Copies of this chain bind each other. A is one copy, B any other.
Amino acid sequence: MTQLCRTFQTAPAAVPKDNTAKYLESGLTADGFQAPDWLVPDIEDGTAPSMKDEAVENVIDLLPKYAPDFGGEIWPRVEWANDDERFRERGREQIHRLVAEVGDHVDGFVAPKVGRLDDVQEAAGVVAEAEREYGYDDGSLGLSVIVETPQARSDLRELALFGADSRLEGLVFGPVDYTAELGGREIDGERPRWDGLLETMSNEASAGGLVAIGGPFDQLYAERAGVTYYDAPAYADQVEFEAQFGLDGSWSLHPKQTVQANRIHMPTPEELERDVHKIESFNDAKSSGTGAVMVDGQMIDEATYRNFANTVETVRSIHEAHPTQTAEFYDEELLGRARDVELAFR
């Protein structure tokens, strides 16, 4: 895992309300488990065509005020389209303006509707250009892309090879556009789940050291016997499915989804206890002897050790970004051990 992204929460950057930055502001000021790892101010599909400029200005207005205290990362989604030059031009303008004005508060940009590798490289080039123009170090701003065209899926291996050594940091699934592009259909109320794509995307993200994020789940509410309720179990099913296949995080459209995905993609207290214990025992055994180290009857080789260490490092990252989450989720003594234990195989 290169990076922490349990939650990829999009927030429309301008909406037709009195406070057009309402959702953006609420995302930036969320606390506890409502705070996402990545907040994605959405200037693309979440914002009406007539409000794009206002969306950019909202981001420019709010980041200086809220970003310094925001624990996660901030990744605006700009306009882009592999098959339409005008959208790419707008995306270029949006990236330039945001880097010029609030580059210090942005971790990277999200480009939707990318095509094959050359299109992703063009988007990466636009970010590089803005970095140079406004005096940022090469590579200080990242790029993530929404995988929602057949061309992007076709080139996942090439994206992984590119991503292993570039500013490309994340692959995010976009099922609605993808299904439309393939002409897929809902049959008996069931949409295709695209298991093959998710498995391949998870693999290639791991191969290239990228984060892999699932698609949005928009059926937030269900109705039964005349009562409408937030459908927590349905979203949990999707997030667990994604976690099982090794996706690093899930897309959130709502603070309630963020709470769920943050928790599901986090090591459980039992996992943390188990892995901290293994490392502590390994450290003790190592200091008191030579040769192979056995812990609880299990031989600890470097691969096994790395799995334990991953758990601890993930918890440390979460603690650094969101200390109220770790404080609520883990026992204080266990968290202390996780923070203090020495991580070194040799």
In the bound assembly, the distance between CA atoms of A149 and B208 in angstroms comes to 11
Chain A contact residue count (CB 8 A cutoff): 57
Say whether A64 faces chain B, with CB atoms less than 8 Å apart.
no
Given A154-B160, A187-B240, A303-B177, decide whether A182 and B196 contact each other with a Cβ distance below 8 A.
Answer: no
| Chain A stretch 162-218: residues in CB contact (< 8 A) with chain B | 177, 179-188, 190-192, 194-197, 199-200, 202-207
Given A49-B299, A84-B302, A196-B196, decide whether A184 and B246 contact each other with a Cβ distance below 8 A.
Answer: yes
Given A49-B292, A84-B302, A192-B246, decide whether A203 and B182 contact each other with a Cβ distance below 8 A.
Answer: yes
Q: How many copies does the complex hold?
A: 3
Q: Are A244 and B187 in contact (CB under 8 A)?
A: yes
Q: Are A244 and B199 in contact (CB under 8 A)?
A: no
Q: Are A1 and B196 in contact (CB under 8 A)?
A: no
**Closest beta carbon of chain B to A312's beta carbon, Å:** 14
Given A1-B183, A196-B200, A307-B180, decide whether A207 and B150 contact each other with a Cβ distance below 8 A.
Answer: yes
Partner of A204, one of B49, B150, B191: B150
- Chain A 64-90 interface 0/1 with B at a Cβ cutoff of 8 Å (1 = within): 000000000000000000001000000
**Closest beta carbon of chain B to A162's beta carbon, Å:** 12
In the bound assembly, the distance between CA atoms of A307 and B246 in angstroms comes to 32
Tell me which residues across on chain B come within 8 A of A160, comparing CB atoms: 150, 154
Q: Are B199 and A181 in contact (CB under 8 A)?
A: no
Q: Are B246 and A179 in contact (CB under 8 A)?
A: yes
**Closest beta carbon of chain B to A179's beta carbon, Å:** 7
**Closest beta carbon of chain B to A240's beta carbon, Å:** 5
Say whether A153 faces chain B, with CB atoms less than 8 Å apart.
yes
Q: Are A187 and B246 in contact (CB under 8 A)?
A: no
In the bound assembly, the distance between CA atoms of A194 and B246 in angstroms comes to 11
Q: Are A49 and B244 in contact (CB under 8 A)?
A: no
Of chain B, the residue at the smallest CB distance from A188 is B240
Q: Are B157 and A154 in contact (CB under 8 A)?
A: yes
In the bound assembly, the distance between CA atoms of A310 and B185 in angstroms comes to 13
**Closest beta carbon of chain B to A2's beta carbon, Å:** 11
Say whether A106 faces chain B, with CB atoms less than 8 Å apart.
no
Say whether A61 faces chain B, with CB atoms less than 8 Å apart.
no
- Chain A 1-21 interface 0/1 with B at a Cβ cutoff of 8 Å (1 = within): 100000000000000000000
Tell me which residues across on chain B come within 8 A of A240, comparing CB atoms: 187-188
Q: Are A199 and B196 in contact (CB under 8 A)?
A: yes
In the bound assembly, the distance between CA atoms of A72 and B227 in angstroms comes to 51
The 5 closest A-B pairs by CB, nearest first: A182-B246, A150-B207, A184-B246, A150-B206, A196-B199
A residues at B contact (CB < 8 Å) = 1, 45, 48-51, 84, 113, 149-151, 153-154, 157, 160, 177, 179-188, 190-192, 194-197, 199-200, 202-207, 240-241, 243-246, 248, 291-292, 299, 301-303, 306-307, 310
Give 24 CB contacts A-B under 8 Å: A48-B292, A50-B292, A149-B207, A150-B160, A150-B203, A150-B205, A151-B207, A154-B203, A179-B246, A180-B303, A180-B307, A181-B206, A182-B203, A182-B206, A182-B245, A183-B248, A184-B246, A185-B243, A185-B246, A187-B243, A192-B246, A195-B199, A196-B196, A197-B199
